[in-house]
Structure 1
Amino acid sequence: MLKVISSHVFLRQRLHPGLLDTLLKSGAQGVELFAARQHIDYSDRTVVREFADWFRSNPMEAFSMHAPLYPDHEMGRAGAPAVNVIHPDKSRRIDAMDEIKRALEVAEQIPFRFLVVHLGERDDTWSPRALEFSMTALEHLRAFANPLGVKLLVENLQNSVAQPAYILEILNTGHFTDIGVCLDVGHAHLNDGVAAALASLKPRIRTAHLHDNNGQKDEHLWPGDGTIGWDETFEGLKSAPQSPAGVLEIHYTLGENPEIVAQKAAKAFEKF
């Protein structure tokens, strides 16, 4: 498995080359850039060029990007609506896709393989309308991403729309053979379990978000600090036909300094 870490662990900070240096020290082969304007302002071409220069000079690749969840610099705390490509309001859906496209444009200067996309927010429920809106959004974003060399990945969430069975229905109904899945292990643990999610999604899995919890809430702990069975999880992931990358997605509220992050990430990578 390719060793990747998400910049989500530093989400409260402005990402800068020094933090990327720290992640490189952990032994990470790639990084998933978390698209949040207060963290990495993907709309600022000067900022993007600075990161592009760093990646050209270092052996760690920009492996993937997590699509933005909010369009502002405050993660919605000032009232900005979430980025939701299946919102009932058409104008909200269009705004959401436009914001994701702004993030995708980073690939013009920093090539990355995958964009991880959320379908809906926590309270969104499955319906024929959710199916229609999901297919429309994925088709639109795929058309924008493909010329940039980026493939879309749908992440399993805690809402009912992005449960494994419905993700497969969306992808199969839309004939999206080139769109894969990012298996979020922590989210799966909070729903029907990691083993069940692996059994359903394994042929479609391209990457996996790796983090732990105690089965009650989405804590994004380091692997081994919760109740997920990691031996079985890694065995299942390694048997997936597309040899998925493992992406450590640790919560920024743990408040650990960069050196501790590098040490804990290196220890986690030993499990790979």
Structure 2
Amino acid sequence: MLEIFARAGAQGVELFAAKQHLDYANRVAIRELADWFRSNPLEPFSMHAPLYPDSEMGRAGAPAVNLIHPDKSRRIDAMDEIKRALEAAELIPFRFMVIHLGERDDQWSPRSLEHSLTALEHLKAFAGPLGVKLLIENLQNEVTRPQNILEILHVGHFDSIGVCLDVGHANLTGGTASALAELKPYIRSAHLHDNHGERDEHLWPGEGTIAWEETMKELKTAPQTPAGVLEIHYSLGDSPEEVTTKMSKAFSLLD
């Protein structure tokens, strides 16, 4: 798959730390992947932090990786799991780790702010020597609304921590334009996908209701032009011709 991405013209890739996809705790697998990147021009630009510690995305009952869970032991377990993924940077030189703060229904409160500050301070100290910077992703919860992300960054004096703007999530939680207006100085990466404003569909750009011309214009004027990472839901029934057509239409909007 990486070779296909490289031949298609992708400049970089975001690795997803999901054990059924990339077993970040398996040093042999990480070493093999590192060898591939050293021999190819495709950049390991970023890694998405694990969402579950198991290889079944929680379907067997494993709890989610939640850095701001009310239970302290859960918060510690979450930080430890993300550190295991960060250790892959010893061999694979990705620049950023994309972090989720909480789950979908987590609310904003003084306690969630406190837990966010503690987790980010701890992970920042661990990631720094590995050459990795943290990015907070805007989710569909209250904790990662743009104004709350800004408060976390300002209260924690986290000058080295940035934002991964998920355009699809922004469309579901107040609008892409307002999220860009508030977060633009901090955006280092952007997850690009579309939806109809009702659920997180991960459609190709142009298949939903996001105003892509305005969105891309604003992203391109960010102080540090962010990478654009396609996060598209796929259907195994799509033919290569259908995927190519959808891709061409999407790229014309993102150019």
Q: TM-score, normalised by structure 2?
A: 0.95
Residue 21 in 1 paired to residue 12 in 2?
no
SS in 1 for 2:29: helix
Per the alignment, residue 14 of structure 1 pairs with none
**1:269–1:216 Cα change, 3 Å:** same
**What is the letter of the counterpart of residue 40 of structure 1?**
L
Following the alignment from structure 1 to structure 2, what is the Cα–Cα distance between the partners of residues 71 and 174?
Answer: 27
SS in 2 for 1:107: helix
Of 234, 240, 255, 2:236 maps to: 255
Match of 2:121 in 1: 139
Q: Is the 8 A contact 1:22 1:258 kept in 2?
A: no
Match of 2:37 in 1: 55
Structure 1: stretches of 5+ with no match in the other structure? 1-18
Q: CA deviation at 1:251?
A: 2.0
Shift of 1:25: 2.2
Aligned-residue RMSD, C-alpha: 1.5
TM alignment of 1:47-126, pairs within 5 A: 47-126=29-108
Deviations 1:210-267 (A, max 9, x none): 0000111001111111111100000010011011111111124x33669569735465
- Aligned match of 1:196 in 168, 178, 182? 178
8 Å CA contact retained: 2:206, 2:249 = no
Check whether the contact 1:71–1:80 (CA below 8 A) recurs between aligned residues: yes
1:155-174 to 2 correspondences below 5 Å: 155-174=137-156
Cα separation, 1, equivalents of 2:64 and 2:85: 15
CA distance in 2, matches of 1:206, 1:97: 22
Amino acid at match of 1:57: S
**Which residue is equivalent to 1:15?**
none
**Which one of 192, 198, 201 corresponds to residue 219 of structure 1?**
201
Displacement of 1:26 in angstroms is: 2.1
- Distance, in Å, in 1 between the alignment partners of 2:30 and 2:241 is 27
Judge conservation of contact 1:203–1:240 (CA < 8 Å) in 2.
yes
Counterpart Cα distance in 2 of 1:26 and 1:260: 14
Q: Structure 1: how far apart are the matches of 2:168 and 2:9?
A: 23
Alignment of 1:22-41 (within 5 A): 22-41=4-23
How far apart are the structure 2 equivalents of 1:266 and 1:148?
37
2:238 is equivalent to residue 238 of structure 1: no
Higher relative CO (CA 8 A, sep ≥ 6), structure 1 or 2?
1
Q: In the aligned structure 1, how far is the partner of 2:189 from the partner of 2:224?
A: 9
| CA displacement, residues 121-151 of structure 1 (integer Å, 9 cap, x when unaligned) | 0110000000000000000000000000000
Segments of 4+ moved more than 6 angstroms: none
**Which of these residues, 224, 228, 233, is aligned with residue 210 of structure 2?**
228
Please state whether the residue corresponding to 1:81 is helix, strand or coil: coil
The 3-state SS of whatever aligns with 1:192 is: coil
1:26–1:262 contact (8 Å) kept in structure 2: no
Cα 1:23/1:258, change in 2 over 3 Å:
farther
Is 1:207 aligned with 2:185? no
Inter-partner Cα distance in structure 2 for 1:256 and 1:265: 16
TM-score, structure 1 as length reference: 0.90
